[in-house]
Chain A
Amino acid sequence: MQTFRFELGELPPEAEALRAEVREFLRQELGDAAPVRRAHSWGGFDREFSKKMGARGWIAMTWPKRYGGHERSALERYVVLEEMLAAGAPVSAHWIADRQSGPLLLRFGTEAQRQKFLPAIARGELSFAIGMSEPDSGSDLASLRTRAERVPGGYRVNGTKVWTSNAHLADYMIATFRTSHDPAKKHEGLSQFLVDTKLPGITMSPIIDLAGSHHFNMVVFEDAFVPEDMRVGEEGAGWKQVTTELAFERSGPERYLSSFALLLELIREVSKDPGERAAATVGRLVAHLATLRQMSLSVALMLQAGENPNLEAAVVKDVGTTFEQEVPEVVHALLGVEPTIDTGSDLQQVLGFLMQRAPSFSLRGGTREILRGIIARGLGLR
């Protein structure tokens, strides 16, 4: 029985050469950005930064050139990603489109959709949001109820999406709607659409997170008209496409680096006078981090080889988010400093930010319980 494989591999020389270039770019762009800003990691939204990334050719790196891509390897993309995340670069204006919306269009979109959207995404000019969850459909995504009814020339949409990150900033949303209803077959009858966030009939309202920040939204559709040519893929093929999209979402280095900024602050603090306990605490976290990087890299290498490491990606996300969530707890246990919002030391502020952000790590992109269910299926238990 071989349930999963984590083969080690090497990044090719061209990927490593790129790393130096990316680091120099980040040094210039981020300079002496405050640690707490870096701690936002892929939460930071900065269109100017995204356009610079686009100009460098670091968005859409693996896509065909005819769609504005750069036909580079998935491993070169991986290096850019992990460097961005380790530095806490504000990638969120292009991140979703680069990671999942673009690849989805490449795979299932029409030629016209690809021509229209992909080059603009590649330039860092088009920002995307994801419309999946609904008030009554979270982990049970297939139960979603927002309806898209056929009308002449397109669809009329009614319903509500929630937790839609950055929908208030994004230009488009890839949304999954119900196009036919058979209670016995809830996985069928779903379809995906490209939705212009400025369409009439769409009302957005902020959902403020526990720390007082606005990135989530509630998006209400009231007789919003979506043209036929904005449907992505076949009508009714939405479930298969959504699961493909979620696989893109689960496999990257963003699933273990979210608390990296805090680990750096901890090391800065401990370096002053590393006692045995502090050294052991840092060493243990670094052992976890170093191992996760190899696991994540292993998934990237499998993707590059054209394999389908869905199980491995779920394992990395589960182990990775457990680590990310543990870092603030470990820092608290060792140092006991009070987490703060915008006063106190860098360490305190980064701790304050991540302490409040950490609960989301094992919710976004599939809850811990859903992922462990996927892993259990891989073990032959279900």
Chain B
Amino acid sequence: MNELRTILGDVVTRLFTDLVTKDLLESAETGAWPEALWQAVEENGLTLPLVPESKGGAGGSWGDAFVVARAAGRHAVPLPIVETIVGSWLLSTSGLDVPSGPLTIAPVHREDRLRLARAGSGWRLGGTAARVPWGRAAGHVVVTEAEGRMMVALVARGAGQVKTDQNLAREPRDTVVFDAAPVVAAAPAGRGISAPAVSLYGALVRSAQMAGGLDYLLRQASQYATERRQFGKPIGSFQVIQQNLAVLAGHTAAAGTAAANAFRAADRGDAAFEIAVAKVRVGEAAGIGASIAHQVHGAIGFTYEHALQFATRRLWSWRAEFGGEGEWAAELGRAVAERGADALWPHLTAR
């Protein structure tokens, strides 16, 4: 890892450790928007890693975004940071200005159809987008087809009708109905932005968050196993606990590697293969990891009082968002089958 990225990692870790407290997480779950935390995140330039400096961003790479997204997952940060990262990238890559404040991305479900239509000198947006992260609290960056080409459009917060909902971690997942909603700006999609860009890059950032969530589980469960005593000794001294934590370590390592590799591929350009690999591998690790972490913690980890659930409830939701493992695995499998068995190894080693 290069030095700047190490510094970035230190900055986000310090910021989240200081500000993302248990009280803040509990308050966010009641629907409160953590404005002070958002301000701090924005002031530290964490939300626009991929936006050029000339446009007010950090002028960085997906590799930098990975550091932020993984840390956001590790600390269960209750903000649309990764959605803002993807949304601002979609906008700036398409030559559009990036507004300040939180952004979200739509449509989350590939089957949701959003319609962009010309109205006078501008555009209007129609259609319904389900399960939009922080749909109530953020500006909407939309990728959809219009007049035969892919377009990226920005719709202001509140321009659609919001039906609030939430995921298991009580993060906002709202249905937004756009009825000829005014569009702030729209442009033909920039290079590399295809029809499923939202689900693809949504899957990418969720992979990083989940890898971070697993980092937390491994650290927390290992720590707990050295502190909790039963039968006169720390439970971590029992081989069966050690073996289970080693399995968790393996999944955590695989998740971190798969996610990092997908972000590296995103910096190279075509990352569809690596993103599918990451969403499948990390999603599987998330389920197994949550199970082991809870087993090690026993009953205390099953309480709302204990912080473990902030991570595990997110993992259970995130793995299903922007396409679950089954969906991505089938897509990956079809591509592999199409290339044929003899192409598998050359394909793997060429990437």
Q: Which residues does A use to contact B, with CB under 8 Å?
A: 1, 3-4, 6-8, 19, 82, 86, 260, 263-265, 267-268, 270-271, 274, 276, 278-284, 286-295, 298, 312, 315, 318-319, 322, 369, 371-373, 375-376, 378-382
Contacts and interface: CB of A to CB of B under 8 A. Distances in A.
22 contacts: A1-B219, A19-B349, A264-B344, A270-B333, A271-B337, A274-B337, A276-B330, A278-B333, A279-B329, A279-B333, A281-B329, A284-B329, A284-B333, A319-B254, A372-B246, A375-B249, A376-B236, A376-B242, A376-B245, A378-B249, A382-B237, A382-B242
B284 A284 contact: yes
Contacts of A312: 253
Contacts of A291: 254, 257-258, 261, 277, 281
B63 to A, nearest CB: 9
Given A291-B254, A382-B236, 11 more contacts: A3-B249, A4-B249, A270-B333, A271-B340, A280-B333, A282-B332, A291-B257, A294-B257, A315-B249, A372-B246, A373-B243
Tell me which of A283, A312, A315, A376 has the highest count of chain B C-beta atoms within 10 A of its own C-beta: A283
A287 B280 contact: yes
Interface residues of B, number: 53
Interface in B261-315: 261, 264, 273-274, 276-278, 280-281, 284
Contacts of A281: 329, 333
Interface in B237-256: 237, 239, 241-243, 245-247, 249-251, 253-254, 256
Contacts of B276: 283, 287
A378 B252 CA distance: 14
B280 A284 contact: yes
Contacts of A318: 246-247, 250
Contacts, number: 171
B10 interface: no
A123 B337 CA distance: 40
A288 B243 CA distance: 21
Contacts of B325: 284
Nearest to B329: A283
A155 B256 CA distance: 51
A267 B332 CA distance: 12
B289 to A, nearest CB: 13
A23 B39 CA distance: 55
A380 B340 contact: no
A283 B280 contact: yes
Contact of B246 (A260, A280, A376): A376
A4 B257 contact: no
B348 interface: yes
Tell me which of A8, A281, A284 has the highest count of chain B C-beta atoms within 10 A of its own C-beta: A284
| Interface residue SS majority, chain A | helix
B195 to A, nearest CB: 20
A372 B253 CA distance: 14
Contact of A315 (B219, B250, B345): B250
B257 A6 contact: yes
Contacts of B1: 7
Given A284-B329, A381-B242, A372 B247 contact: yes
Given A286-B344, A291-B277, A375 B222 contact: no
Interface of B: 1, 218-219, 222, 225-226, 236-237, 239, 241-243, 245-247, 249-251, 253-254, 256-258, 260-261, 264, 273-274, 276-278, 280-281, 284, 325-326, 328-334, 336-338, 340-342, 344-345, 348-349
B6 to A, nearest CB: 11
A288 B222 contact: no
A319 B253 contact: yes
Contacts of B219: 1
Contacts of A292: 254
A330 B145 CA distance: 40
A290 B260 contact: no
A86 to B, nearest CB: 5
Nearest to B222: A379
B344 A267 contact: yes
A373 B251 CA distance: 16
Contact of B239 (A6, A86, A279, A373): A373
A380 B334 contact: no
Given A8-B257, A267-B341, A287-B276, A379 B246 contact: yes
